[in-house]
Amino acid sequence: MDARRRDEIPLADSLAERLARGDVFSEACPSREVLRNVTSRWGVLILVALRGGTHRFSDLRRKVNGISEKMLAQTLQTLEQDGFVLRVAHPVIPPHVEYSLTPVGQEVSRRVEDLADWIERSLPQILQARETAQTRAV
Amino acid sequence: MDARRRDEIPLADSLAERLARGDVFSEACPSREVLRNVTSRWGVLILVALRGGTHRFSDLRRKVNGISEKMLAQTLQTLEQDGFVLRVAHPVIPPHVEYSLTPVGQEVSRRVEDLADWIERSLPQILQARETAQTRAV
DNA sequence: CAGGATCCTAAACGATACTG
DNA sequence: CAGTATCGTTTAGGATCCTG
């Protein structure tokens, strides 16, 4: 069958097609939102930090240098809602809450860590490229 | 020589050590800034888009759905300064400018794409986890 | 066509104070 | 301890107009 005539679909990617594919390039696609959560300023660091195992709130706060209480709580909540982070609260006083990665969370965080590690390792190279760019600009 | 006595460095990670390692957890470390540029809202999408090969400004604008001219120009500039993107301007009227990935740029973008791809593929699973979380909340 | 300049809004973020 | 609530600041981002 040849239902797809040349002049019927002028654009290569219809919106519907991109949504079905989960296309991050599509503005309306939910994958773009998830990608934003994962790659958010603090999301990245929290995901990597949790690879070290279960952490308490204050542990994370210490580990992720410079994060405020507010942002830590907020980012943990969105990561939990996306199913990447598991939150376990022990009903004791004073409160004791433990955060860890879910199986899916381990999968994303692995990729995030790959990226972060690469940047850390390549930092000298990158900084040098920057200076070269500066020189050219002058 | 034993210049490093027990009570001299009480913290496991001194700032100097973390900077030397290029530690993203360290607030002052440049790697954190590079990571931010790469994982910025539009940075991610542009890096992935450029994997398809050389693009002109307007091509990118079309491909990265929803980006404004301002943010496209701005993000391309920081990516260029980090040495990930190469900008080639042909001195003609009307202007013709081509953007592509540098060798280093290809390396980061590969990892960024890995992440984006994983999210696209796992989207159904993720969305389902979200709904489950919603149900628990109710 | 590829932006730069300007103005403005909305969102992110931080600091602080407070609570079970 | 693990947050929430509130407020003020800063930054990201968009819209529009302009130019070589």
The domain limits of chain A are 23-137
Residue A102 has pLDDT above 90, yes or no: yes
Q: Is the pLDDT of residue B1 over 50?
A: no
The continuous run of DSSP H or E covering B56 comes out as strand B55-56
Nucleotide closest in space to B72 (CA vs C1'): C3
Model confidence pLDDT, tens digit, residues B94-112: 999 999 999 999 999 999 9
Return the pLDDT at B132: 76
pLDDT tens digits, B41-72: 999 999 999 999 999 999 999 999 999 999 99
**Chain B residues inside the 8 Å CB shell of A107:** 118, 122
Strands of A96-101's sheet in order across: A55-56, A96-101, A85-90
Helix B41-50, helix B69-81: angle, nearest 10: 70
Quickly give B76 CA vs C2 C1' distance in Å: 12
- If residue A115 lies in a helix (H) or strand (E), which one and from where to where? helix A103-137
Chain A segment 7-66 residues within 8 A of B by beta carbon are: 21-27, 30-31, 34-36, 38-41, 44-45, 48-49, 63-66
Q: Would residue A22 be called left, alpha or beta, if left means φ above 0 and alpha means ψ between -120 and 50 degrees? A: left
pLDDT at B13: 65
CATH node for B23-137: 1.10.10.10
Torsion of CA B77, B82, B85, B91, to 10 degrees: 50
A54 CA – D10 C1', rounded, Å = 33
Range list of H helices, chain B: 15-21, 30-38, 41-50, 57-63, 69-81, 103-137
Q: Do B39 and A123 count as a contact with CB atoms less than 8 A apart?
A: no
Q: Do B123 and A26 touch (CB under 8 A)?
A: no
